[in-house]
Amino acid sequence: MGMVAFIVGGSFLGCRQGGDISTVEEVRNQDTLIVLCSRLYESRTYEHYLGRWASDSLVLQLVDAGELDEGGWLKALETSNGVLLTGGADLDPGLYGQAGDTILCGDIQPIRDSIENRLLNWVNETGVPCLGICRGLQHMNVHAGGTLDPHLPRLHGDMHRAGLQGSSRDTVHSVRVVAIPHGIDVEVGNESVTISHHHQGIDVLGQSLKVWAIAPDGLAEGIVHSDTAHFPFYVGVQWHPERSDQDQYLVEPVGAGFVNAMLDTQE
């Protein structure tokens, strides 16, 4: 297959520096950003989320890496401006040396694991901006040498995936900022209500990663790479900003920071 792109549109654009939002009039030329994604879904929630920063002056193309043949991969790696690791099934505990914990997991998808490994290897090599959401954060942590709790309910109860009417496993809880993450305009101590939907979570933090946001029970909910020179934007969030209510403190700044980083590295 060739490159499959979904072009999204919107009414405003993330500015090139900081976490503010600038108007379309402030952008002189049309930009095109290609985002290589570990997987996209029929719901198109990720397209719609990043589409908030698209306009007549900015086009975003989201590419599903799972739909690419080898030629498509090579073209995508050459032309993409950023990587988005989306949510999905549990990671194989064998990736972090605990294969016996597989019995505690839900659906495991080795092909998806290999796709994300390839994407993260490329991010490590090039420093291209990378945003990991839910499973994406978990794989970023594992790829950096960390481990996961394969079954959060044992110690954390139902806070992170219990079930709400109309959405079988979603929960709503607050997330608090405990450190300033490079590339996102937030302040320590502020909180945001978010949608959470995950079965695994960070146990041992990966090397060179820092925690910048936590859940009320102390679970790491936001991570960032400590090497900000090589990684201008390497951010993972355990919650789902693409499914959380708009205008929440930890929803728009995440997407704006990602788009801004891609624009900055494109220059």
Instruction: Give the whole-angstrom CA distance, residue 253 versus residue 242.
Output: 12
242 part of the active site = yes
Note the pLDDT tens digit of each residue in 5-32: 444 433 333 333 333 333 333 333 568 9
Q: Which residue has the tokens 């929630």?
A: 45
The string of pLDDT tens digits covering residues 190-220 is 999 888 876 788 999 999 999 999 998 899 9
To the query of whether residue 240 is one of the catalytic residues in this protein, the response is yes
Report the distance separating Cα 67 and Cα 95, nearest Å.
23
Count of domains for the chain: 1
Query: Is 105 assigned a catalytic role?
Result: no
For 265, the token pair is 């590295």
Element (H, E) at 259: helix 252-266
Residue 88, pLDDT above cutoff 80: yes
- Band of pLDDT at residue 152, cut at 50, 70 and 90: low
What is residue 154's predicted lDDT score, i.e. its pLDDT? 63
Tell me what the pLDDT averaged over the chain comes to. 83
- Choice among 47, 221, 242, 252 that is catalytic: 242
pLDDT band at 93 (very low <50, low <70, confident <90, very high): confident
Residue tagged 């302040």 (tokens): 187
Q: Give the pLDDT score at 177.
A: 97
Active-site residue, from 134, 173, 199, 225: 134
Q: What percent of the chain has pLDDT over 70?
A: 78
With beta carbons less than 8 A apart as the criterion, state whether 115 and 89 touch.
Answer: no
What share of the chain in percent tops pLDDT 90? 61
| CATH number of the domain where residue 22 is located | 3.40.50.880
Determine if residue 110 is left, alpha or beta; phi over 0 gives left, psi from -120 to 50 gives alpha, anything else beta. Answer: alpha
Distance, CA of 184 to CA of 175 (rounded, Å): 15
pTM for this predicted structure: 0.85
User: What are the φ/ψ torsions at residue 79 (nearest 5 degrees)?
Assistant: -110, -15
What is the rounded average pLDDT of the residues 80-88?
95
Model confidence over 154-195: pLDDT tens digits? Answer: 665 555 555 444 445 667 778 999 999 999 999 999 999 888
Q: Can you give the residue range of the structural domain that contains 12?
A: 5-266
Q: Is the pLDDT at 2 greater than 60, yes or no?
A: no
DSSP strands (E only) in the chain: 5-8, 13-14, 21-22, 31-37, 58-64, 82-85, 130-133, 148-149, 171-177, 191-196, 201-202, 209-214, 220-225, 234-237
Find how far residue 79's CA is from the centre of its chain.
20
Inter-axis angle of helices 135-143 and 110-126, to 10 degrees? 60
